[in-house]
C-alpha cells in the first residue's frame, strides 16, 4: 500500500477527530483547526534507498505531465512515440537522449526496467501485455482495458510473469480521496452506507475542446464516440479506492443525444450511441453506489460525496459546492497538505487535482521497495470492469447485471 493510506496512528482516534470538528468556536476556527491538525498530516518523506529505477516513457501527449525525471529514485532511460514531434517533446521534457520509433523497439532495451504507457485507451491492454511479455514492469493510463477478454488476459499474464502493473488513476490521489481513505480507515465515517461519484467532461458539439479531443490532423482519434462507461475509473476510484469494496451488480441508463453524428451504431468504431451513462451499483456488502460519466452536460470535473452512519465528506464541484466535512452535525472544510509525503522536487501543482506527482512516486517506490503498488492490477480491474458491464446494461434498458470478479483466485 502507498504511504498515504495506512491505518491512522492512535493519536488520530475518532474521538480526536470529533473533538477537532465539534470543539471549535465557529466555522472559521473549525476550518483552521481541522486543516492544521498534525494528526491528519501524512508522514514527512524521508529517503530510504539509493536505487534508481530505469523507466521508459511512451506517449508524448498525456505522458508529458508526469515527473519521472524529478524523482530521486528514478531516471528516464528511453522514450518513444510514433509521431516524431511528440517523441522530441518527451526527450525535452525528461532530458533523455535515447529515443525509439515505437514501443515494440523500446521494450527490447535491456536497460529499461519499467515502462510508462500513455498511448491510447484502446491500445493499453495490448501494450501492457507486450511489456509484460518482455519482462518489463508497467504503469498505464486509464482505463486498464476496454473488454472483459482483455481483463482476463491481463490478469493471466501478470500472474504468469509475477511482474508489477499499476494503473495511473488520478482520482485515487485527489486530496479529498486521500482524506476520505484516512477517515474511513480510522472509523470516522462509521459504516460507509452510500457514495456517489461523477466524472463530467463536456464535449459540446461545435466546441474547440470537442474537436481537439476527437480529431488529430483531420483524422478521428480513439476518443471519437468513446462510450462514457468504458472510461469509468475517475468515478469508481472514489469508492473502491477508499473502502476497497468490490462492485458486484449494476443497472445503468445511457443517454442518446439527438442529431449528433458522433454517436450511433454506424457512427463510431465502438458502435456506441451514448454520450452519458448514469449507473446504480451495489457492492459486495450491499451498499449502493451512484456513478455517472458524461461528455455532454453542463458540468465539469471529478467529484464525490461519501455518506457514513457517523460522518460525511463532500468534495467541491463545478456547481460551486464547497468542500465540507460533516461530523456529529458540525460542518468543517479545508484539506491537509498531503504534499509533505513526496520528495521535495515533486511537491508541485499538477493536473487532476495534484495527483500526478503522487502517481509518479507510488509506482517508483513500489518497485524500489519491492512491494505491490496501491493501484495494482486487481485494483485496476476492480475500477475498470464495472464500467464495461454498465455499458452493456445501457443496451438492455438498465437491466441489472452481475459484475465478474478479477481478484486473486
pLDDT tens digits for 51-75?
A: 999 999 999 999 999 999 999 999 9
Dig out the grid coordinates for 357 from the structure.
506527482
Q: What is the mean pLDDT of residues 309-334?
A: 83
Count: domains in the chain: 1
What is the CATH classification number for the domain harbouring 109? 3.40.50.720
Per-residue confidence (pLDDT) for residue 31, from 0 to 100: 35
At 331, the pLDDT band (50, 70, 90 cuts) reads low
Q: What are the percentages of helix, strand and coil residues in the chain, rounded to 5?
A: 35, 20, 45
**Per-residue exposure over 296-316, b if at least 16 CB sit within 10 Å of its own CB, e if not:** beeeebbbbbbbbeebbbbbe
Identify whether 219 is part of a domain. Answer: no
What distance in Å separates the CA atoms of residue 127 and residue 123, rounded to the nearest whole number?
6
Contact of 277 with 394, CB cutoff 8 Å: yes
Contact of 119 with 110, CB cutoff 8 Å: no
Percent of the chain whose pLDDT exceeds 70: 89
- The count of other CB atoms within 10 Å of the CB of residue 194 is 15
What distance in Å separates the CA atoms of residue 44 and residue 147, rounded to the nearest whole number?
40
Q: Which one is predicted more confidently, 370 or 32?
A: 370
Identify whether 76 is part of a domain. Answer: yes
pLDDT tens-digit map of 204-234: 888 888 888 999 989 999 999 999 999 999 9
Residue 11 has pLDDT above 70, yes or no: no
Dig out the grid coordinates for 397 from the structure.
434498458
What distance in Å separates the CA atoms of residue 233 and residue 129, rounded to the nearest whole number?
20
Identify whether 132 is part of a domain. Answer: yes
At 41, the pLDDT band (50, 70, 90 cuts) reads low
Identify whether 158 is part of a domain. Answer: yes
Identify whether 349 is part of a domain. Answer: no
Sheet holding 53-58, edge to edge: 99-100, 74-80, 53-58, 114-117, 137-140, 165-167
Question: Residue 131 sits in which domain range?
Answer: 53-170
Q: Which one is predicted more confidently, 319 or 155?
A: 155
DSSP 8-state secondary structure symbol assigned to residue 266: T
What distance in Å separates the CA atoms of residue 87 and residue 82, rounded to the nearest whole number?
7
Residue 301 has pLDDT above 80, yes or no: yes
Q: Which ranges constitute the DSSP H helices of 256-376?
A: 351-354, 356-368
Q: Which ranges constitute the DSSP H helices of 169-299?
A: 175-185, 208-214, 233-243
What distance in Å separates the CA atoms of residue 218 and residue 171, rounded to the nearest whole number?
31
Per-residue confidence (pLDDT) for residue 18, from 0 to 100: 38
Q: What is the mean pLDDT of residues 238-242?
A: 98
Percent of the chain whose pLDDT exceeds 90: 75
Dig out the grid coordinates for 359 from the structure.
502517481
Per-residue confidence (pLDDT) for residue 334, from 0 to 100: 75
Number of alpha helices (DSSP H) and beta strands (DSSP E) in the chain: 12, 17
pLDDT tens-digit map of 160-173: 999 999 999 999 99
Identify whether 200 is part of a domain. Answer: no
pLDDT tens-digit map of 369-392: 999 999 999 999 999 999 999 999
Per-residue confidence (pLDDT) for residue 138, from 0 to 100: 98
At 12, the pLDDT band (50, 70, 90 cuts) reads very low
CA dist list (Å): 35 to 310, 313, 315, 339: 20, 14, 15, 14
Residues 6+ apart with CB under 8 A from 273: 254, 256, 263, 264, 265, 267
Q: Classify 53 as helix, strand or coil.
A: strand
At 34, the pLDDT band (50, 70, 90 cuts) reads very low
Per-residue confidence (pLDDT) for residue 335, from 0 to 100: 85
Identify whether 30 is part of a domain. Answer: no
Ranges 44-48, 198-202, 328-332, most confident: 198-202
- The residues with which 250 forms a beta bridge, in sequence order, are 281, 401
Contact of 402 with 191, CB cutoff 8 Å: no
Q: What is the mean pLDDT of residues 102-131?
A: 98
At 266, the pLDDT band (50, 70, 90 cuts) reads confident
Per-residue confidence (pLDDT) for residue 26, from 0 to 100: 36
Q: Classify 114 as helix, strand or coil.
A: strand
Chain centre to alpha carbon of residue 77? 25
Per-residue confidence (pLDDT) for residue 165, from 0 to 100: 98
Identify whether 67 is part of a domain. Answer: yes
Dig out the grid coordinates for 269 from the structure.
468504431
Pairing of strands 114-117, 137-140: parallel
Residue 329 has pLDDT above 70, yes or no: no
Residue 146 has pLDDT above 50, yes or no: yes
What distance in Å separates the CA atoms of residue 17 and residue 327, rounded to the nearest whole number?
9
Per-residue confidence (pLDDT) for residue 24, from 0 to 100: 32
At 336, the pLDDT band (50, 70, 90 cuts) reads confident
pLDDT tens-digit map of 159-212: 999 999 999 999 999 999 999 999 899 889 999 999 999 999 998 888 888 888
Q: What is the rounded average pLDDT for all residues in the chain?
A: 89
Amino acid at each position: 500500500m502507498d504511504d498515504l493510506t495506512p491505518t491512522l496512528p492512535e493519536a488520530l482516534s475518532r474521538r480526536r477527530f470529533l473533538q477537532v470538528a465539534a470543539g471549535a468556536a465557529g466555522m472559521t476556527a473549525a476550518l483552521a483547526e481541522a486543516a492544521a491538525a498534525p494528526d491528519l498530516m501524512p508522514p514527512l518523506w524521508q529517503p530510504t534507498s539509493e536505487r534508481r529505477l530505469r523507466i521508459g516513457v511512451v506517449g508524448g501527449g498525456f505522458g508529458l505531465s508526469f515527473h519521472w525525471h524529478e524523482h530521486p529514485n528514478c531516471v528516464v532511460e528511453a522514450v518513444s512515440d510514433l509521431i516524431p514531434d511528440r517523441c522530441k517533446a518527451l526527450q525535452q521534457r525528461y532530458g533523455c537522449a535515447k529515443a525509439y520509433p515505437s514501443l515494440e523497439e523500446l521494450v527490447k532495451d535491456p536497460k529499461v526496467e519499467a515502462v510508462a504507457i500513455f498511448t491510447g485507451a484502446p491500445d493499453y491492454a495490448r501494450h501492457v501485455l507486450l511489456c509484460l511479455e518482455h519482462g518489463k514492469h508497467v504503469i498505464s493510463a486509464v482505463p486498464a482495458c476496454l473488454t472483459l477478454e482483455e481483463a482476463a488476459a491481463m490478469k493471466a499474464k501478470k500472474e504468469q510473469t509475477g511482474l508489477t502493473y499499476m494503473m495511473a488513476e488520478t482520482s485515487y490521489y485527489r486530496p479529498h480521496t486521500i482524506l476520505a481513505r484516512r477517515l474511513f480507515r480510522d472509523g470516522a465515517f462509521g459504516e460507509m452506507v452510500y457514495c456517489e461519484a461523477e466524472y463530467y467532461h463536456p464535449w459540446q458539439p461545435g466546441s474547440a475542446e470537442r474537436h481537439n479531443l476527437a480529431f488529430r490532423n483531420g483524422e478521428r482519434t480513439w476518443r471519437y464516440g468513446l462510450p462514457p462507461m468504458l472510461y469509468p475509473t475517475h468515478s469508481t476510484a472514489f469508492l473502491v479506492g477508499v473502502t476497497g469494496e468490490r462492485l458486484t451488480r449494476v443497472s445503468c441508463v445511457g443517454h442518446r443525444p439527438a442529431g449528433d453524428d458522433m454517436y450511433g451504431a454506424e457512427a463510431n468504431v465502438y458502435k456506441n450511441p451514448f454520450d452519458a451513462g448514469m449507473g446504480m451499483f451495489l457492492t459486495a456488502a450491499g451498499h449502493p453506489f451512484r456513478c455517472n460519466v458524461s461528455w455532454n452536460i453542463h458540468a465539469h470535473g471529478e467529484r464525490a460525496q461519501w455518506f457514513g452512519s457517523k460522518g460525511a465528506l463532500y468534495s467541491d464541484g463545478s456547481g460551486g459546492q464547497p468542500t465540507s466535512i460533516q461530523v456529529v452535525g458540525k460542518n468543517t472544510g479545508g484539506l491537509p497538505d498531503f504534499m509533505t509525503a513526496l520528495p521535495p522536487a515533486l511537491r508541485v501543482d499538477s493536473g487532476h487535482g495534484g495527483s500526478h506527482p503522487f502517481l509518479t512516486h507510488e509506482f517508483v517506490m513500489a518497485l524500489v521497495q519491492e512491494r505491490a503498488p496501491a493501484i495494482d492490477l486487481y485494483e485496476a480491474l476492480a475500477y475498470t470492469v464495472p464500467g464495461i458491464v454498465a455499458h452493456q446494461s445501457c443496451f438492455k434498458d438498465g437491466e441489472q447485471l452481475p459484475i465478474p470478479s478479477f481478484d486473486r483466485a
